Amino acid sequence: MQSTAPRWAYRLAHAIPFFVLPSSLWRLGLVFGSSMGMLDATGQPTYIHGFGLKLYVVGLSLVSEALALTGLGLVHRWGEIVPRWIPLIGGRRVAPYAAIIPATLGGLSLIALWTFAMRNAYTDGFLYFTNDFWQYLMVGSYSLLHLWGPALLLLTWSYHRRHALHPRVKAPI
């Protein structure tokens, strides 16, 4: 018997990509030629130059969104049974700890990453901007990333409760 995710977990899993989206959109503003109000050490607007750096920023945004979508596996069937189209393992049951361990490590890593990365974001010495609007926009866009790690840990806890604590009972043969 398959257990379904609670409604709160389902909603939270679908919200996580929206925690990541504002920072991705903010970075894309840089790619499309805006300085997003950032200033360099000399007080001049900061721009991204070069195709390689622009490609990196776009890639970072896409990878961030793709990683945010992996939380959906903790509430959908494809987090319980490997999709059939995947060679060799398609159709097999996902071992609960094959999802729980990476998700737990991912959630803890995200908490550590964003705590460290944003440690000075709420002070005036973080980055320099042309005005407060741009600073608030950047900090607001990135502050939602603080929710990603705890949300992933909550989803992992819910998955653990449904799959590791109450393993699926095999039907008699």
CA distances from 35 to 40, 59, 61, 121, 144 (A): 10, 19, 17, 18, 21
pTM: 0.87
Tens digits of residue pLDDT in 65-108: 999 999 999 999 888 888 888 888 888 888 899 999 999 999 99
Summary mean pLDDT of the chain: 90
Q: Which residues contact 17 (CB under 8 A, 6 or more apart)?
A: 65, 68, 69
pLDDT value for 83: 84
Tens digits of residue pLDDT in 14-49: 999 999 999 999 999 999 999 999 998 888 999 999
pLDDT value for 173: 43
Sign of CA dihedral 110, 111, 116, 122: positive
Distance CA 36, CA 121 (A): 16
